[in-house]
Amino acid sequence: MFRQLKPEHKQCNNLSKPAVITIYLNPTLQKTLVFQSVVPNTVNRSSEYRLDASGKGINVSRVLTQLGRENIHLTQLGGCFRPLFLELCAKDKLAVKWVESYSEIRFCYTVIDKEKCQATELVEEGKPVGEGTGEKLLGVLDTLLPEYTTLVISGTAAPGFSSALIPEIVNRAKQNGLFIVLDIRGQDLLNSLPYKPDIIKPNLDEFITTFAPELHKDPFVIKDVTTSLCRKIHMLHGCHTILTRGSQNLWFSYAGGFEEFPVETIPAVNPIGSGDAFTAGLINSLLDSGLNDISVDLFRDALAAACHCGKLNSMYVKPGVIRA
């Protein structure tokens, strides 16, 4: 078990270095195949396909890079596909710090049916990481934290990591005064809240499953109960909440208030990575505004920038981009 640091929090005060650490602990090689139409129970051939380094945190980093925002991605890597993963990151000009995990990188597949405007995702579960990977990752994190102003943690960690790891990352980042955005769910999110992240950004289904799973049986009261939960989270932990709802208008709670924000829907070429592009656009806009004094109007402006990035991502076959 790694040594846990005491939660002595500092205000975010290192804005002279407005750079971002992104973390995703289940790296992915994403194969995207495009078909004019997909016919079940027969051979389907594609002449348009691509392979990309992917996963939620890599997608956030790629969009931040395209926005001109300095960032670094921290992850675990192992196995024979690690050189390929790093080569693909380098092609996208991504800075990556990694620790040896002895865990083979998984593949995920997106099958796009142009005729039906459908994107089907086929996901391999991650392999367990080797013993001690979490401690190595914390060691690298400690060297990075003094040089950065913002931390984004996305998604679910690969098997083999301690359930205390992500909350401890949040703890150490908060001690170093970083602004923290969490796009996570379940126990990782619940156990991280006491360390006072600044923004949590699950989708609505993840939020309900995490905080009130019984509401799935009574959808008519979801908005009222969600409003109450968001206000309680702000009161207890001081963090703001953004709840994406697919093509529907998103909900957000800022400083205890609760509002709906309009989302423009367009026909999507490939929606994979749009939520991550949203996260990158949000962070970039908030950094441009300054992190210590964000009014609700500036927060709405950041949501507009986030929605724009999410929309741009959906226009491209490649996941996690806002331009070709």
Confidence of residue 291 (pLDDT cuts 50, 70, 90): confident
Q: Are strands 150-154 and 199-200 parallel, antiparallel or unpaired?
A: unpaired
Phi, psi of 270 (to 5 degrees): -155, 110
Q: Per-residue DSSP letters for 165-182?
A: HHHHHHHHHHHTT-EEEE
CB atoms within 10 A of CB 56: 24
Run of H or E including 150: strand 150-154
For residue 218, what pLDDT is reported? 73
Q: In the predicted model, is pLDDT for residue 259 greater than 90?
A: yes
Radius of gyration of the chain (CA): 19
Give 197-228 pLDDT, tens digit per residue: 999 999 999 999 999 988 876 777 899 999 99
**What pLDDT score does 235 carry?**
96
pLDDT for 15: 47
Domains of the chain with CATH codes: 24-39+47-313 (3.40.1190.20)
Q: What is the mean pLDDT of residues 21-35?
A: 98
What's the pLDDT score for residue 13? 44
Name the least confident of 71-85, 210-224, 279-293: 210-224
What does the alpha-carbon distance between residue 286 and residue 306 come to, in Å, rounded to a whole number? 10
The residue type found at 224 is D
Spatial CB neighbours of 55, under 8 Å, sequence gap ≥ 6: 24, 26, 27, 28, 30, 75, 154, 155
